[in-house]
Amino acid sequence: MNHNDIRLIATDMDGTLLNSQHQVSESFYPAFERLKELGIHFVAASGRQYFNLAKTLAPIKDDVIFVSENGSYVVFREEEIHVQALPHNDVYELIRMARAIKDNYIVICGKKKAYVESDAPEFLAHLTLYFERYEVVENLLEVTDDDFLKFTICDLKGSEQHVYPHFKHLHDQYQVKVSGPIWLDISHRQANKGVAMAMIQERLGVTKAQTMVFGDYFNDVEMLLQADHSYAMENAHPDVKKIARYTAESNDNNGVVKILQQVLLAQQAV
């Protein structure tokens, strides 16, 4: 494969750039600085909240394009590039549907903050990994003063088996994504990481042939299809591996950084 003309690199975070302890490898930052010197743009694309992404990549946050909430909210240098919110009434109906399912935790992902009804420690331990700003409210149906970027369900028993079957019939109306082992995300029909990447590519004048992407789960699929250089992690869901063109070593083996170093070697050899 030819890495000589890569101009845009995008990576998912959890299960991809971050290791199993949700940490960024120290070897990533020197590679990032060299990519920046070569004029290669970098995108962090995640289901995470924007404020959480900016904190996670704080040392380089002014040089990263953040695609947050699975593509519903795109920010660069604190400027909103793209917002694709859900109608409030749609979210309220999704809340009612989720309440009919036993043993799950509902999250409204707002632009200002996330909103939850539960303060159960076992739930908050997961929530706080991905959401920097959140509020526990008495009734989610009474939250009105925010843009709703995404509707999320946390099911500690497993999202693909337990909650996805209740919502999979909504694919024609929304983006319905199993985004991790315990997470199900529902977004606007036109909100996904691929749409966000296409917008960024157009804005920067970059082609698919000049784009490299890394991912591991179903919310990365459209983004992987938006790049000729698409990599699924070794630890990716088997169905996601079938979609990507290439495989990178696992997130715990620093797979993303190893490919970035190949890009740097190829471009410095030109």
Domain boundaries, the chain: 8-83+191-268, 88-188
CATH architecture of 8-83+191-268: 3-Layer(aba) Sandwich (3.40)
The DSSP string of the chain is ---TT--EEEE-IIIIIB-TTS-B-TTHHHHHHHHHHTT-EEEEE-SS-HHHHHHHTGGGGGG-EEEEGGGTEEEETTEEEEE-PBPHHHHHHHHHHHHTSSS-EEEEEESS-EEES---HHHHHHHHHH-SSEEE-S-GGG--SS-EEEEEEE-TT-HHHHTHHHHGGGTTTEEEEEEETTEEEEEETT-SHHHHHHHHHHHHT--GGGEEEEE-SGGGHHHHTT-SEEEEETTS-HHHHTTSSEEE--GGGTHHHHHHHHHHHHHHT-
As a whole number, mean pLDDT of residues 54-60 equals 97
**pLDDT higher than threshold 80 for residue 1:** no
Instruction: Give the pLDDT confidence score for residue 238 in this predicted structure.
Output: 97
Residues 187-206, mean pLDDT to the nearest whole number: 97
Q: What is the mean pLDDT of residues 75-96?
A: 97
CA 263 – CA 223 distance, rounded (Å): 19
Say whether pLDDT at 270 is over 80.
no
Q: Tell me what the mean pLDDT of segment 226-240 comes to.
A: 97
Fold of 88-188: 3.30.1240
Average pLDDT over all residues of the chain: 96
pLDDT band (50, 70, 90) for residue 3: confident
| Beta strands 41-45 and 65-68, pairing class | parallel
pLDDT of residue 45: 98
Q: Which of 151, 163, 134, 178 is nearest to 90 (CA)?
A: 151
Residue 12 has pLDDT above 90, yes or no: yes
Q: Which residues does 245 contact at the CB level (< 8 Å), separation at least 6?
A: 228, 229, 230, 231
Q: What is the pLDDT of residues 31-52, one digit of tens each?
A: 999 999 999 999 999 999 999 9
Q: Per-residue pLDDT averaged across 236-258, rounded?
A: 98
The structure's pTM equals 0.93
Same fold, 8-83+191-268 and 88-188: no
Q: Are strands 183-188 and 211-215 parallel, antiparallel or unpaired?
A: unpaired
pLDDT at res. 4: 84
- Asked if 136 and 173 touch (Cβ cutoff 8 Å), the reply is no
